[in-house]
Amino acid sequence: MAQALSLRLLLAFLSIGSCIAIEVTDHIDLWPMPTSVSHGTQRLYVSKDITMTMEGSTYSDEKGILKDAFQRVADLMKLNHVVDGANPSSFALTSVNVVVHSPEDELKFRVDESYNLSVPTTGNPLHAQIEAQTVFGALHALQTFSQLCYFDFTSRLIELISAPWTISDTPRFPYRGLLIDTSRHYLPVTVIKKVIDTMTYSKLNVLHWHIVDAQSFPIEIPSYPKLWNGSYSFSERYTMSDAIDIVRYAESQGVNVMAEIDVPGHALSWGVGYPSLWPSDSCKEPLDVSNNFSFGVIDGILSDFSKVFKFKFVHLGGDEVNTSCWTATPHIKKWLDDNHMNVSDAYRYFVLRSQKIAISHGYDVINWEETFNNFGDKLDRRTVVHNWLGEDVAPKVVAAGLRCIVSNQDKWYLDHLDATWEGFYTNEPLKDIDNPDQQRLVIGGEICMWGEQIDASDIEQTIWPRAAAAAGVYSECSFLPIPCIEQT
Q: Which residues participate in catalysis according to the annotation? A: 320
Q: What gap in Å lies between CA 315 and CA 74, rounded to an integer?
A: 36
Phi, psi of 157, rounded to the nearest 5 degrees: -125, 165
**If you ran DSSP here, which 8-state letter would residue 43 be given?**
E
Angle at 346 between CA 342 and CA 348, to 5 degrees: 120
Angle at 431 between CA 427 and CA 436, to 5 degrees: 130
Residue ranges with strand state E in 170-297: 175-181, 206-210, 256-260
**CB contact set of 457 (below 8 Å; sequence gap of 6+):** none
From 166, 165, 250, select the one nearest 206 (Cα to Cα).
250
From 160, 166, 97, 104, select the one nearest 130 (Cα to Cα).
97
From 70, 131, 113, 165, select the one nearest 475 (Cα to Cα).
113
Q: What gap in Å lies between CA 66 and CA 299, rounded to an integer?
A: 37
| Number of CB atoms found within 10 A of residue 461's CB | 13
| Number of CB atoms found within 10 A of residue 455's CB | 15
Phi, psi of 371, rounded to the nearest 5 degrees: -65, -45
Q: What gap in Å lies between CA 476 and CA 128, rounded to an integer?
A: 23
- Helix, strand, or coil here: 145? helix
Could you give the dihedral angle defined by the CA atoms of residues 393, 397, 398 and 403, in that order, rounded to the nearest 10 degrees? -110
